[in-house]
Structure 1
Amino acid sequence: MTNVDESAAASATVSAESGEVLIVTGMSGAGRSTAADALEDLGWYVVDNLPPQMLRPLLDLTALAASALPRVAVVVDVRGRDLFAELPEVTRALRRGRPLRVMFLDASDEVLVRRFEAVRRPHPLQGDGTILDGILLERHALRAVRESADVLIDTSSFNIHQLATRVIEMFSAEGSARHTVTIMSFGFKYGLPPDADLVADMRFLPNPFWNDELRALTGEDPRVRDYVLNQEGAPEFLDSYAAALEPVLAGYQRENKGHSVVAVGCTGGKHRSVVMARELSARLSSLPGVAVRVKHRDLGRE
């Protein structure tokens, strides 16, 4: 297998093949937990601190689940003590079965020392020595694993958000969304949605409730839709609000915020908010990296 450093891997997205296995390993303090969390957010099944000898039984079990667990990430590191020495041999054997990659996270000795000092925790291998003593022992133990890794990421200059972004970029399925936004219509008289990140008020538009022909209908009826969208200010609001949300949703992706809720309200959540939520979702659905869902919280209430 060819070793790929971080700079080369950054130019390509790793495809999410069915049955793919990723071993996450590397230096203590280099960001294994952050990488594992990012993978879990992408839908990988993540197992932490597994002895190498248990990799094959785990993969046999996950193979039985087939499509339910198509991507499995396993964090393996020196916390396994003497068992960790068998990782290169176990990895070679496993490569002959399911598609498997090894991702190695590294950082400079100086950076690792600072990170351990910042959290005031000892290095797992330092014993009675110093943090640097533990780091040097770990480097020696991981030499063979590092040399055979498929993906090598040096996290020396990364904070946790930048590392998570790098992992997401590398291991997202090509074309998959990095952020899901739910556009939720609701009625103010039933209260604000407690999970809303942003709230828009459609009560500036005339209420179809006062139109005898439209009162019994909902915002999903074409007649109500046409009525609402033909009101002064409705198209302008949709265009302006969608444009305002574009940098917000892009920023959520940069900050690895995977989900958000944009609440669109009117008095009862039956007419105006339903129409405007649908129209807003149509405008946002073309944004790169964004998946849009629509939910009508109060539609159907009396």
Structure 2
Amino acid sequence: MTTGVAADGVDETLRPELLVITGMSGAGSSTAAKALEDLGWYVVDNLPPQLIGDLADLTAKAAPALPRVAVAVDVRGRTFFPALNAALAQARARGTRTRLLFLDATDDVLVRRFESVRRPHPLQGAGAPLDGIVEERIMLGELRGEADTVVDTSRLNVHELSSKIITLFGDPGDPQIRLLVMSFGFKYGLPLDADLVADIRFLPNPFWVPELKAHTGLDPDVAEYVLSREGAVEFLDRYTAALEPVLKGYVRENKRYATIAVGCTGGKHRSVAMVEQLSQRLAVPGVVAVTAVHRDLGRE
């Protein structure tokens, strides 16, 4: 009877998917790695190839599991790099689901990119960037032929490359953007990481209602009081509508995370109630994932 458990004790169905990112220096591996991180992949940069198999086994045993792992490997690894082919074969032999992404670009584009950042090619030595590029292309010729996916980045800017990576390796169930919707109190200072800030101190403060003062915006009575005030629902309707084109623009520009802050005086009543309502309105399954956070709740 087959159990699905390998000799090392790892359930084969729990082994992670391993994506190895390689290719020409300057072709965009850093951009690809960042896009994968935004998709929720566990990314390791410049790992010696000999450790790829061990990393796959380690992440398979992790709790909670890390189902998607990406490793960026390139000629910066110097003497380690030639071992990549053997490491990939070993990982596959151990049952790891492995794919190889090769990023490429034309020589003239790569030369311009190195000149624009004023950094030497890893293999140019005392020569010019083109010398290093030629040597690297010879070194990687066989590896390119074995790649599962080759992406030519010559005509892609960083946003277009990110979109390409998201299309190729994103899960259909991944949200297009993740929002952190945060309540806060102005008297404790603005959230430094907020992308957008709304001020709802135009609404009457439940703090001055004796039977509501000790409660918070999470309490149904406080929430009902806040939402029943003139302008409250109108604000929710119009602010939600105003955010729709903003969020669509964020997605087009591959901004995968954003923080929306809603503030009142102390961050206890009005902003808390509004954030709870706004979070529900903004959440769209498979498109917008929303987490509500109340920064200053409990500080009073």
- TM-score range for the pair, normalised by the shorter chain length: 0.7 to 0.9
Q: CA offsets per residue over residues 41-66 of structure 1, 9 Å max, x none?
A: 33333232233333333334434436
- Asked if 1 retains the 8 angstrom alpha-carbon contact of 2:99 and 2:148, the reply is yes
Corresponding position of 1:177: 175
Distance 1:61 1:288 in 2: 30
- Asked if 2 retains the 8 angstrom alpha-carbon contact of 1:18 and 1:71, the reply is no
Q: Structure 1 83/219 Cα, relative in aligned 2: closer, same or farther at 3 Å?
A: closer
Q: Which has the higher contact order (CA 8 A, sep 6+)?
A: 1
* Aligned equivalent of 2:42, options 24, 41, 45: 45
Distance 1:177 1:114 in 2: 35
Q: CA offsets per residue over residues 158-216 of structure 1, 9 Å max, x none?
A: 12232223223332332222432222222223332333222211121222333344333
SS of the counterpart of 2:70?
Answer: strand
Distance 1:81 1:29 in 2: 16
**Within 5 Å, which residues of 2 pair with 1:109-120?**
109-120=107-118
How many percent of aligned residue pairs carry the same amino acid? Answer: 63
Q: In the alignment, does 2:241 pair up with 1:243?
A: yes
Which ranges of structure 2 fall in alignment gaps of 5 or more residues? 1-13
SS of the counterpart of 2:102?
Answer: strand
Corresponding position of 1:130: 128
* Aligned equivalent of 2:164, options 163, 166, 182: 166
User: How large is the RMSD of aligned CA atoms in angstroms?
Assistant: 2.4
Q: Which deviates more from structure 2 when the two are superposed, residues 134-143 or residues 249-258?
A: 249-258
Q: Structure 1 301/20 Cα, relative in aligned 2: closer, same or farther at 3 Å?
A: same
Using structure 2 for the length normalisation, give the TM-score.
0.84
Corresponding position of 1:276: 274
Using structure 1 for the length normalisation, give the TM-score.
0.84
Corresponding position of 1:9: none
Q: CA offsets per residue over residues 133-181 of structure 1, 9 Å max, x none?
A: 3222222221221111111111111122322232233323322224322
Q: In the alignment, does 2:81 pair up with 1:84?
A: yes
Deviation at 1:119, TM superposition (A): 1.8
Q: Structure 1 76/240 Cα, relative in aligned 2: closer, same or farther at 3 Å?
A: same
Deviation at 1:128, TM superposition (A): 4.2
Distance 2:267 2:46 in 1: 48
* Aligned equivalent of 2:298, options 292, 295, 300: 300
Corresponding position of 2:32: 35
Q: Structure 1 111/181 Cα, relative in aligned 2: closer, same or farther at 3 Å?
A: same
Distance 1:238 1:258 in 2: 23
* Aligned equivalent of 1:56, options 43, 50, 53: 53
Q: Structure 1 24/186 Cα, relative in aligned 2: closer, same or farther at 3 Å?
A: same
* Aligned equivalent of 2:21, options 15, 20, 24: 24
Q: Structure 1 203/52 Cα, relative in aligned 2: closer, same or farther at 3 Å?
A: closer
Corresponding position of 1:253: 251
Distance 2:47 2:295 in 1: 43
Corresponding position of 1:152: 150
